[in-house]
Chain A
Amino acid sequence: MIQLEDLWRTYVMGEQELHALCSVNETIEAGEHVAIMGPSGSGKSTLLNIVGCLDSPTRGKYLLDGSDVAGLEEDALADVRLRRIGFIFQSFHLVPRLTAVENVEMPMIFAGVEPGERRERAQGALAAVGLSERRGHKPSELSGGEKQRIAIARATIMGPDLLLADEPTGNLDSRSGGQVLDLLGQLHREGRTLLVVTHDPGVARRADRVLVMQDGQIVKRVAGSKVTNLASLFEEGEAAE
């Protein structure tokens, strides 16, 4: 589903060039659950943003289902984000002035779904994350775990086949983090491709595969079941380099 070939993302800052990604090569199959780990600044978010069509590679190829995404126009990219990709962020990014159900409705507004159908679908999605009774609440009236579940309902409302989560449990306690991960796991089992950036070996363990990044490169690939603790991952990663 996702093919990355010699992918670079370079930031030019004055005289200096900073390679957030350098020559990333990776293939992720449809329906895979992949975790991305690595120290802070290693390029995990940059990789996820490029896969999510929020950012474009400086160099290299990104094929989504065989077609080159890098060559697409802004509007076409927006449409890919709208229909094929669901984003989940560490800091939830709910619109504070809108209620839970209105936040979930937002992507459908951009897709031009009729208001009646929109409300119905949004309420269904809220029910699926167990938050029906919270539909009229503003984000400020919700706990972190509830906010992230609403964000997940919003990310899935247009029926995307690719879910991208950037440290989805980073701001949550372990109990609500567990609920969020269970929800993501369920969405994966329903057939969606799932990419999760995380620092937490417990999160990574749930994935089929773990990509370990360092300095903009994928330095190691391990099975999720093999992840024990962080230190071991990076020691071996550096050793392999």
Chain B
Amino acid sequence: MTSADFVRFASRALYQNRRRSALSLVGVVIGVIAVVSLTAIGEGALRYVNDQFASLGNGIVMVVPGKNDTTGDMPLGMGGVPNDLTVDDAIAIQRRVLDIRTAVPMTVTTAAVSHRQRSRQVTIVGATSEFARLQRLELALGSFLPEGDLDRGASVAVLGHTVARELFGHENPLGSTVRVGEWRVRVIGVTARRGTQLGLEVDETVFIPTATGMRMANKSSLTRIMLQLQPLADPDVAIRRVVALLTERHDEEDVTCISQDAVVDSLGSILRVLSLAVAGIAAVSLAVAGIGIMNVMLVTVSERREEVGLLKALGATRRQILLIFLLEAALLSLAGGLLGLGLGTGAVAIGDALVPAVSIEAPAWAAGAVVTLALVTGVVFGVLPAWRASELDPVAALQGH
């Protein structure tokens, strides 16, 4: 008996009972759809997070005031109010910590930006010319902030794409004056459309020189310092050196360093938990589907007792009968797996179209794994019914009892 004969024999039987076969597939189909779409969402989320941080730049470390634990959500302020972060701190880091290539002193506030009758509340970021390189910002018009402007603070601004569009419409804003709070600044650039990015909505931001930002806020302190590591620097070592330097300058440890790697890592581990949950759902739904297949096959075997008796009378061995019914279960689950993969991929494609910000797509490994898993499930749960068929007493089976 060749394997093609087995497959043909089994598939004919399934086709004859196509309504029941179809019903028994539902469990497998649902399980596979669940796994395909959940892995697609998980992978999509992971890719989204990675993309976000990749566009922020690799090897970026933020220094913020306040001492706290390493994950850096909530400054605890143990020793009272922390010392201010200053432009001098930034200069000192850049000069004295060799692992650091660039230090960008930054202020972040919100203020109303207006031009003629139009006004908008936006994020005002004080930064240096280096910021554009670190963030891979591209400009649609003009240029970014001037270089070497750490003390003076020119009254200039670079508008985010959306801000420029809202204040100026289709007019060219370059050279125009806008009001930022009480201050008047000249527009020297407009950023290219960037979209939302974790931490900063570039399109809805106005960039000004750091010194200008401090002057506007009437403060001498920074909101944070953005550091770029030297290409081969070890982030942990660099962070330790930066913290040591600032502790020396402030006489206490009152800053926190947040590395993008750490944030990506912790988000990644959340997503890995999600993957485990997907695996759990896969296991449970396929077990349920497998039991469904087992029940259908048990019914099939008891309905086809006479046929089994006949096969034995004609000289089929127990192994051959076992194989016929095992193949039926395997074909059922394989069909369910492929159908579920098709429907799941379709559902993922629809979801992908509905949520343009996140690109979701079931990874190829998941598609292969889940179909294989469905097939294995069918075989495993098909063993008992097939074994029962092969053990039937031929005389009793031929009489139908």
Contact = CB atoms under 8 A, between A and B. Distances in A.
A49 interface: yes
Nearest to A96: B16
Contacts of B312: 54, 78, 81
Contacts of B311: 106, 110
Nearest to B310: A93
Contacts of B12: 97-98
B217 interface: no
Contacts of B216: none
A224 interface: no
Nearest to B393: A55
A98 to B, nearest CB: 7
Nearest to A46: B395
A162 B375 CA distance: 43
A49 B309 CA distance: 12
Interface string A135-155: 000000000000000000010
Contacts of A49: 395
B130 interface: no
Interface size class of B (residues with CB under 8 A): 20 to 34
B81 interface: no
A81 B314 CA distance: 6
B210 to A, nearest CB: 82
Contacts of A93: 306, 309-310, 313, 398
A79 to B, nearest CB: 7
B318 A97 contact: no
A81 B395 CA distance: 13
Contacts, number: 69
A62 B163 CA distance: 100
A83 interface: yes
Nearest to A87: B313
B323 to A, nearest CB: 11
Given A97-B12, A109-B5, A52 B313 contact: yes
Interface string B1-22: 1101100010011011000000
Interface string B99-136: 00000000000000000000000000000000000000
A163 to B, nearest CB: 13
Label chain B's interface by main secondary structure: helix
Given A74-B317, A82-B314, A97 B5 contact: no
A54 to B, nearest CB: 5
A74 B318 contact: yes
A168 to B, nearest CB: 14
20 contacts: A54-B313, A74-B318, A78-B315, A78-B317, A93-B309, A93-B398, A96-B16, A97-B13, A106-B314, A109-B1, A109-B5, A109-B9, A110-B1, A110-B315, A110-B320, A111-B315, A112-B1, A115-B5, A154-B314, A158-B315
B203 to A, nearest CB: 65
Nearest to B320: A110
Contacts of A154: 314
A210 B65 CA distance: 111
Contacts of A81: 312-315
A93 B314 CA distance: 11
B316 interface: yes
Contacts of A111: 1, 315
A110 B2 contact: no
Interface in B1-45: 1-2, 4-5, 9, 12-13, 15-16
B310 A95 contact: yes
Given A55-B395, A97-B13, A75 B315 contact: no
B316 A110 contact: yes
A82 B394 CA distance: 14
Contacts of B394: 54-55
B117 to A, nearest CB: 81
Contacts of A158: 315
A97 B1 CA distance: 19
Interface in B183-207: none
Contact of A82 (B5, B15, B16, B315): B315
Residue picked from B307, B311, B314, B320, most chain A C-beta under 10 Å: B314
Nearest to B307: A95
Contacts of B316: 78, 82, 110
A6 B286 CA distance: 55
Contacts of B309: 93
B314 A110 contact: yes
Interface string A75-92: 100111111000101000
Given A54-B394, A81-B314, A158-B315, 19 more contacts: A52-B313, A55-B395, A74-B317, A78-B312, A78-B315, A78-B316, A79-B317, A87-B314, A93-B309, A93-B398, A97-B13, A97-B15, A107-B314, A110-B315, A110-B317, A110-B320, A111-B1, A115-B4, A154-B314
Contacts of A74: 317-318
A55 B307 CA distance: 17
A112 B3 CA distance: 10
B48 to A, nearest CB: 51
Contact of B2 (A78, A79, A112): A112
Contacts of A87: 313-314
Interface in A81-130: 81-83, 87, 89, 93, 95-98, 106-107, 109-112, 115
Nearest to A45: B395
Given A95-B307, A95-B310, A54 B395 contact: yes
Nearest to B314: A107
Contacts of A109: 1, 5, 9
B398 A89 contact: yes
A112 B310 CA distance: 18
A147 to B, nearest CB: 13
Nearest to B17: A97
B225 to A, nearest CB: 78
Interface in A147-205: 154, 158
A115 B6 CA distance: 12
